[in-house]
Amino acid sequence: MLVDAHCHLGDGAFDADRDAALARARAAGVGHVIVIGESVAGSARAVDLAREAPGLSATAGVHPHEATTWSREAEARVRALCREPAVVAVGETGLDYHYDHSPRDAQRRAFDAQLALAAELGKPVVVHAREADADVAAMLRAWGGGGNVPAVILHSFSGSQVVFEAGMDVGAYFSFSGMITFKNWNPMVRPSACPPDRLLVETDAPFLAPVPHRGRRNEPAYVREVAAALAQAVGASLDDVGQQTTENARRVFGARVAAARVEHTVP
Ligand SMILES: [Zn+2]
């Protein structure tokens, strides 16, 4: 069984065939999908999707691209959503200095506030880090080390040495995406350097489709291609990587994910 640890299932790219995409995921052995909230409205949509669906969990947060929308009111709404039983983590939050869709100080403010929220609520936090290594590392160390934030998930981990070291210091989970299937992916830190009990797999769908689907819309079924590439990278079998990453997802996301089953693969 596989868990897709990061999927934007609420995205409009799935409006035409969301149920069919989930059926394909189940057929591919995907027992659970974490539906990511990237804005207040997107988080509410993720919660709506997950509320009645035992195979789905949600996160609630505001993506760095949307950081200018962070406000006291946004924070109150994210906090309320985080108290829903279907919500297993805060985020996606973080810093993105590649696109700079929001000013950097606004990104840092929203990230800091969501790290504080994760600490307050005792929930893991899903972190997006792109070309902001030093600031991400400093903020992770500030919040993650002393047990304030119970767990950090480095989503679509890119193999940055600086982020890896901070992640190791705070016991973070390293979530690999379709990037690891790309021929030109040449990370400083290889997946085999990450502790096995900290590995996760994700699609980041509808973005970042793995080879051989690269360039098309991604979907949760394709987490299988990611897991296969990860298995090759760490020298393990697909079965072992599936088992390990599922166990890790259950540990970090908790009971709702721990209850996940795929009927035909249950021993
Ligand atoms: Zn994402």
The CA 128 to ligand 1 mean position distance, Å, reads 7
Beta strands 125-130 and 87-96 are parallel
Identify the pLDDT of residue 28.
96
Identify the pLDDT of residue 265.
45
Identify the pLDDT of residue 267.
38
The angle, 0 to 180 degrees and rounded to 10, between the axes of the packed helices 72-82 and 40-51 is 10
Identify the pLDDT of residue 266.
41
CA atoms within 13 A on the CB side of 52: 3
Q: Which two tokens stand for residue 243?
A: 């088992």
Identify the pLDDT of residue 263.
55
DSSP 224: H
Block mean pLDDT (10 aa), the chain, length 267: 97 97 96 98 98 95 97 98 97 96 96 97 97 96 86 96 97 97 93 97 97 96 98 97 97 92 54
Beta strands 199-201 and 30-35 are unpaired
d(CA 34, CA 177): 13
The CA 196 to ligand 1 mean position distance, Å, reads 22
The CA 27 to ligand 1 mean position distance, Å, reads 23
From 124, 112, 111, 119, select the one nearest 198 (Cα to Cα).
124
Identify the pLDDT of residue 122.
95
The CA 267 to ligand 1 mean position distance, Å, reads 32
CB atoms within 10 A of CB 197: 12
* pTM, full prediction: 0.96
DSSP 151: -
Identify the pLDDT of residue 35.
98
